[in-house]
Amino acid sequence: MAKIGDTLKPFSTQAYKQGKFVPVTDADVGGKWAIFFFYPADFTFVCPTELEDLAGIYPTLQKMGVEVYSVSTDTHFSHKAWHDSSPAIGKIDFFMLGDQNHTLATNFDVLRDGQGLADRATFVVDPQGVIQLMEITSEGVGRNAAELLRKVKAAQYVAAHPDEVCPAKWEEGEQTLAPSLELVGKI
């Protein structure tokens, strides 16, 4: 599996985005924060609730300079057909990547053995293409966009303030910690 600190590997695929088919490669991703949001399959059950939840925070993420890429092993043709027919999916404005060639699922090592479907996995990548956060849940457990937003904010904060760290359950605006010799063994 991709590990924290690993760098984004090369890929090249087609996406459906706001009524168009557009090519997307790893080169397009660089330079901004990015979320890769894997799910098992179009036209299924937990997936659309998660994608709709994610669609809800997309405007906020865009303001924070974060791009979003949802990924399944379906084609971009299938993504468009789903977008056309599902009210929940119809709300999506971010990139829906076709990964029928399994490149992305293999790059991040989230392809389920013998199923041809990706795990329910989230990866947050910084502008240098380095993985900073990751989360995976099993088939029946939906993720939480609000918690993802909290962690992306924390990751952006420590990237901007290299001498500070964010403690447990830190929310934007709360106090951070500045590591120092004096703090050793004192917390």
Q: Which residues are catalytic?
A: 47
Distance of CA 4 to the CA centre of its chain: 14
Q: CB of 159 within 8 A of CB of 126?
A: yes
- The Cα 158–Cα 43 span in angstroms is 38
| Among positions 64, 86, 127, 129, the unique one binding a copy of itself when judged by CB under 8 A | 86
Distance of CA 72 to the CA centre of its chain: 12
- Tell the residue number behind the tokens 């996995």, with chain if given: 121
27 versus 130: smaller Cβ distance to a copy of itself: 130
| Among positions 7, 84, 90, 128, the unique one binding a copy of itself when judged by CB under 8 A | 84
| Among positions 74, 95, 107, 125, the unique one binding a copy of itself when judged by CB under 8 A | 74
Task: Kindly identify the residues of this chain, within the stretch 107-166, that bind a copy of itself according to CB under 8 A.
Answer: 109-110, 112-117, 119, 132-147, 150-151, 154-155, 158, 164-166
For the record, the structure tokens of 52 come out as: 């709709």
Does 64 bind a copy of itself (CB under 8 A)? Our answer is: no
Does 91 bind a copy of itself (CB under 8 A)? Our answer is: no
| Among positions 26, 28, 41, 127, the unique one binding a copy of itself when judged by CB under 8 A | 41
Does 8 bind a copy of itself (CB under 8 A)? Our answer is: no
Q: In angstroms, what is the minimal distance from the CB of 11 to a copy of itself? A: 11
- The Cα 52–Cα 59 span in angstroms is 13
Could you tell me the CA-to-CA distances from 121 to 35, 46, 80, 117, 179 in Å, in that order? 10, 13, 22, 12, 31
